A and B are shown apart, each in its own frame.
Chain A
Amino acid sequence: MLTYWLLRPLRTLLGVLLTNDSSRQVAAGVAIGVVLGAAPLGSLTAVALGVVLCSLRVNKAAGLLAAAGVAAATPLLDPFTHKLGLKVLTVPSLQSTYAAAYDAPLGPWWGLHNTVACGSLLLGLYLSYPVFLGTRALVDRARPWAVKHIAKYKLGRVLLGAQITDRLGASFGIGS
């Protein structure tokens, strides 16, 4: 059981590359995961993004991995995201809009009146499309190489298991 929980993240990471999801789905999952990781934890924004990630046909594992990685990294960016959020949230011409949004039902639950939360979300949104493009290109390029090399090693085969091997065989038309 312990081995299962220890190896599971590694298997998930390999699964991102080796599952039969398309590179678009993986890239979309990573992009949503980046935004989710940057969103304020415990807020309605994070819940909504989680629902989106789980509801859309995207690679969930890639999204969760990206979310976890970004969530861990965002505190390092707090000084920048705070300034960004402060700049955006104090734009005089948008105050009435913000106020209306905040005063709407569930408005405070989104957590976007916080400078770091707002700045992080904006940063995540800003980075999502480049991340999408970059991830898709990376997956397209890395997947054949990964399949080829991982299958060579015993550890890779163990991690992936027979089920994955069968899937790979089916994907590449090896056996039936």
Chain B
Amino acid sequence: MTRYLRLGYLVPRLLLLVVLLLAAEIGSGWGLRWAAINAGQGAVGAKVEVGGSKVSLLGARAVLADVAVANPRRPMENLVEAERIELDFDSAALTHRSAVGRGLVRGLRFNTPRSESGALDPDDAPEAGGAAPAWVAGAQQAAADSAERWIAALESKLTGQVDEFESVRLAEQLSESWPSRWRELRAEAEAIEDEFRSLKEAAQEARRNPLRHTEFLATAPSRAAQLQTRLTALADEVSRLPELAEVDRQRIEAARKADRRLLTERLKADQLDPESLTSQLLGESVTGTVESLVGWVRWAREMTPASGPGERVCPRDRGADIRFVGVRPRPALLLTELQFDGVARLLGRGVELRGRVTDFCSTPAAHDQPLRIVAQATGGAPMTIDATLDRRQAEPIDTLAIVCEGFPTPGGKIGKPDKLAVRLAPTPATLAMNLRIEGEALSGRIDLTQHAVGLETIVGPDAGRVGARFGAALGQGLAEVDRAETTILVSGRLDRPMVKLESDLGGVLAAALQHAATDLVQAEVQQRFDAGQKRVDQQLARFDEQLREASRELSQRLAGPTEELERVAAAWAPAGFSGRGVSVEQIGRRLLGGGQTR
């Protein structure tokens, strides 16, 4: 035996091997710490700090203490901190070059501040975070603008001056046109009177000296006939006055109807888009939640190992590894269960987080179960989270289910509080979220049920009379709203998520606003119309009075000449007085009231 084996050589080296193993047992902690820092920094892209580490090769156990992973986007903040990480590996699996184990993470904390920058390269400019993506912010701002414009437009309409009513204009026109007409009629009556008087005086003169007025006597019948014609025309016109006035009244009545229609149309509130209102009231919480979720999904995707090739021949730096037929592929690292607890800040509230990660595998294709994270949060925002990250196929499939009983909706506001605004008070809601990300495609829905909706009206000091009335009417309508259900449909892609809000909150609010606006507009229309009609009625009453007065006056004026001329005409008619001429004696007798001429 000793002929072939150098015992003197072998024994010291075996002893050396034992010493080396003991050194490894002690020193591998440092190696683990170094490996954890390097691997972590490579994966996250920011500083990873490990306070202490301990490895037991014989016990196949590793412990890391005070682990801090910096946030690559916010270097002065830690992405996550853990007080202690304990990992227990299966020794038998290690003989198969596979680390299979279970672990425990205690004292998890998220987004804790750092005393020094966590950027690997100090020159790296941190990315701006926290602001909503352009698509979210744009939609939110558009919704806000739309709602505020609506209220402002309504207020402007109700407080603005309305042009003169057509009916009032017509009534005033009537008042102005008829007096001139009357003046014309009166002038015509006076002219007829003068003409009659002149004719009468000329006749008396002709009676005294008939021979000297033969010319007058020749033309007198025709003048008398003309005078009678004018008198008749004037009398007809005066008698038609009520009829003409009635036509004008009908025009005014038609204008009244048109005025009411026009006023109603002009003061009518524009239609509100319920979706815009919902976006305005819930947009921040919804879009913020979706944005945060998408961010977490992206981060999880970066952190989660990819599926890796599942072929029989797997290329390496030198040659290729062959997977033999019948050999079940073993992952390099498999954590069957990793329990964790800690504190976090979810939805702006502190929560105690407790849960477990199962089937975390460095080569997901080599494992038959997807990675699953189940967590329960208690405290400020109690919720359960169930996430599955399936990387077993080439295309990753992630599912996320969250149920939160006390989801705090942060509230929202429409309008300007110093004038008129509607405020949604922060209320707890039940949130149920189901999201699926297949490859880059997002799909899913978020159901938000608000059991006690706190919608209230704010009437500010600059609201004015109309604003105060509108606010009071709106307040009554909103008091009846006690429950709202909102569904957020999520679609699009991870890099461009799309959110569609479907909520009865916006509908209810829109209906309340429209109802209050309609009532107010109707009252305002009636008030303004009544004011206009009062003026019309006054004008018409004055017109009627003037009409009656003018008719009476004209009738009186025309009565004398008419009767006399009728009498003369009646006397002349039998004698064939038709302008062919009569004797001087005949004319003289008739004008001077004489007897029948032959």
B552 close to A (CB within 8 Å): no
Do the beta carbons of B320 and A86 come within 8 Å of each other? Answer: yes
Do the beta carbons of B324 and A107 come within 8 Å of each other? Answer: no
B96 close to A (CB within 8 Å): yes
Residues of B within 8 A of A (CB): 3-6, 9-10, 13, 92, 95-98, 313, 316, 318-327, 330
Partner of B10, one of A55, A82, A99, A107: A55
**Complex contacts, A143 vs chain B, CB 8 Å:** none
Do the beta carbons of B326 and A78 come within 8 Å of each other? Answer: no
Q: How far is the CA of A82 from the CA of B97 in the complex (A)?
A: 22
Q: How far is the CA of A89 from the CA of B92 in the complex (A)?
A: 25
Q: How far is the CB of A57 from chain B (nearest CB, A)?
A: 6
Known pairs A96-B325, A113-B322, A115-B320; A105 contacts B96 (CB<8 A) = yes
Q: List 9 A-B contacts (CB under 8 A).
A: A82-B318, A96-B325, A98-B322, A99-B326, A107-B96, A113-B321, A113-B323, A114-B318, A116-B319
A134 close to B (CB within 8 Å): no
A75 close to B (CB within 8 Å): yes
Additional A-B contact list (8), CB under 8 Å, known A108-B97, A115-B319: A54-B9, A55-B9, A89-B324, A105-B96, A113-B321, A113-B323, A114-B321, A117-B319
**Complex contacts, B13 vs chain A, CB 8 Å:** 54
Interface string of A114-129 (1 = CB under 8 A from B): 1111010000000000
Q: How far is the CA of A115 from the CA of B97 in the complex (A)?
A: 18
Known pairs A54-B9, A55-B5, A96-B325; A105 contacts B92 (CB<8 A) = yes
Q: How far is the CA of A106 from the CA of B98 in the complex (A)?
A: 10
Do the beta carbons of B327 and A99 come within 8 Å of each other? Answer: yes
Do the beta carbons of A82 and B327 come within 8 Å of each other? Answer: no
**Complex contacts, B330 vs chain A, CB 8 Å:** 108
Would you list the 3 A-B pairs with minimal beta carbon distance, nearest first? A116-B319, A108-B97, A115-B319
Q: What DSSP secondary structure best describes chain A's contact surface?
A: helix
**Complex contacts, B325 vs chain A, CB 8 Å:** 92, 95-96, 99
**Complex contacts, B92 vs chain A, CB 8 Å:** 105
Which residues of chain A in 47-72 are interfacial with respect to chain B, using CB atoms and an 8 Å cutoff? 54-57
Q: How far is the CA of A115 from the CA of B5 in the complex (A)?
A: 33
**Complex contacts, B320 vs chain A, CB 8 Å:** 82, 86, 114-115
Partner of B96, one of A108, A115, A119: A108
**Complex contacts, A102 vs chain B, CB 8 Å:** 324, 327
Q: How large is the interface on A (under 10, 10 to 19, 20 to 34, 35 or more residues)?
A: 20 to 34
Q: How far is the CB of A143 from chain B (nearest CB, A)?
A: 22
Closest to B92 in A: A105
Do the beta carbons of B9 and A99 come within 8 Å of each other? Answer: no
Residues of A within 8 A of B (CB): 54-57, 75, 78, 81-82, 85-86, 89-90, 92, 95-96, 98-99, 102-103, 105-109, 113-117, 119
Do the beta carbons of A56 and B322 come within 8 Å of each other? Answer: no
Closest to A109 in B: B97
Q: How far is the CB of B300 from chain A (nearest CB, A)?
A: 30
Do the beta carbons of A95 and B326 come within 8 Å of each other? Answer: yes
**Complex contacts, B96 vs chain A, CB 8 Å:** 103, 105-108
- Which of B10, B13, B95, B319 is most buried by chain A, counting CB atoms within 10 A of its CB? B319
Do the beta carbons of A96 and B326 come within 8 Å of each other? Answer: yes
Do the beta carbons of B324 and A55 come within 8 Å of each other? Answer: no
Known pairs A99-B327, A106-B95; A75 contacts B318 (CB<8 A) = yes
- Which of A55, A92, A107 is most buried by chain B, counting CB atoms within 10 A of its CB? A55
Do the beta carbons of A109 and B9 come within 8 Å of each other? Answer: no
Known pairs A57-B3, A95-B324, A99-B327; A109 contacts B95 (CB<8 A) = yes
Q: How far is the CB of A150 from chain B (nearest CB, A)?
A: 27
Q: How far is the CA of A114 from the CA of B319 in the complex (A)?
A: 6
- Which of B4, B13, B313, B326 is most buried by chain A, counting CB atoms within 10 A of its CB? B326
Q: How far is the CB of A79 from chain B (nearest CB, A)?
A: 10
Do the beta carbons of B95 and A78 come within 8 Å of each other? Answer: no
Partner of B316, one of A57, A90, A114: A114
Do the beta carbons of A55 and B6 come within 8 Å of each other? Answer: yes
Q: How far is the CB of A70 from chain B (nearest CB, A)?
A: 15
**Complex contacts, B316 vs chain A, CB 8 Å:** 114
Do the beta carbons of A86 and B322 come within 8 Å of each other? Answer: yes
Q: How far is the CA of A5 from the CA of B318 in the complex (A)?
A: 32
Q: How far is the CA of A81 from the CA of B322 in the complex (A)?
A: 14
Do the beta carbons of A113 and B9 come within 8 Å of each other? Answer: no
**Complex contacts, A57 vs chain B, CB 8 Å:** 3-6
Closest to B5 in A: A55
**Complex contacts, A105 vs chain B, CB 8 Å:** 92, 95-96
Q: How far is the CB of B3 from chain A (nearest CB, A)?
A: 7
Do the beta carbons of A90 and B95 come within 8 Å of each other? Answer: no
**Complex contacts, A89 vs chain B, CB 8 Å:** 322, 324
Known pairs A55-B10, A56-B5; A113 contacts B324 (CB<8 A) = yes
Q: How far is the CA of A89 from the CA of B98 in the complex (A)?
A: 21
Closest to A115 in B: B319
Closest to A119 in B: B319
Q: How far is the CA of A117 from the CA of B97 in the complex (A)?
A: 17
